[in-house]
Amino acid sequence: MTQVKMTVNGKEMSGDVEGRTLLAQFLRDDLELTGTHIGCDTSQCGACVVHVNGEAVKACTMFAVEANGAEVATIEGQANADGSLNKIQQAFQDHHGLQCGFCTPGMVMSAAALLKDNPKPSEAEVRHYLDGNICRCTGYHNIVKAIMAASGQDVSAIAAE
Ligand code: FES
Ligand code: FES
């Protein structure tokens, strides 16, 4: 076992892990941050997306030891300081950007990373960026709409679905 330390949602966290322990497993099983979902074993679904040192990462593709010393952000740390939904989360709610919700944490974390780099993405850019996130409920239309609304763009011309 190896001790790892990282900052998760602004708090110092540590634990003992095996070399094979994935970051997603460490977050869920050791830190009980179960908002990071595991929806596949092929690194395709994106339900596990977190931020590591500010970059969107599929937490099932990284060993916990690789995140030693890193700044990690998960869905649990995305709300505003007063506990209210942040603008992306609120936009998902307002535009029905979720159905069962399983993909939602990964979608929100991917959206946050996209909007950090591209604050006003086009619909095509949002769809391209979400290439690595699967919604098994196929709610892509409203997810894209929610992300564009969160970026401050007028989405009234985009039909509801
Ligand atoms: S659980 Fe990481 S991509 Fe599916
Ligand atoms: S809302 Fe169900 S998987 Fe996306």
Ligand 1 pocket test, pick from 22, 25, 44 with the greatest ligand atom count within 8 Å of Cβ, gives 44
For residue 47, which atom of ligand 2 is closest to its CA?
3
- Cβ count within 10 A of residue 31: 19
Separation of 100 CA from ligand 2 center, angstroms? 5
Burial track 68-100 (b if 16+ CB lie within 10 A, e otherwise): eebebbbbbbbeeeeeeeebbbbbbebbebbee
Residues 126, 70 within the same domain: no
Judgement on whether residues 57 and 8 belong to the same structural domain of the protein: yes
Q: Is residue 61 part of a domain?
A: yes
Q: What whole-number distance in Å separates Cα of residue 89 and Cα of residue 93? A: 6
Q: How many domains does the chain have?
A: 2
Quote the domain boundaries for residue 145. Answer: 87-150
pLDDT in tens, 88-146: 999 999 999 999 999 999 999 999 999 999 999 999 999 999 999 999 999 899 999 99
In this structure, the answer to whether residues 18 and 58 fall within a common structural domain is: yes
Place of tokens 């974390």: 109
pTM over 0.85: yes
Residue 82 domain flag? no
pLDDT at position 161, please? 59
Per the prediction, the chain carries an average pLDDT of: 96
> Residue 98 CA: which ligand 2 atom is closest?
1
Contact 51, 113 (CB under 8 A): yes
104 and 142 in a single domain? The answer is yes
- Tell me whether residue 161 is in a domain: no
Q: What sign has the CA pseudo-torsion 60, 62, 65, 70? A: negative
In this structure, are 26 and 59 located in the same domain?
A: yes
- Confidence at residue 159, expressed as pLDDT on a 0 to 100 scale: 67
CATH classification at residue 53: 3.10.20.30
Angle between helices 140-150 and 104-117 (to 10 degrees): 40
Residue identified by tokens 């595991």 is 38
Domain boundary among 59, 77, 95: 77
- Cα separation, 28 vs 140, whole angstroms: 26
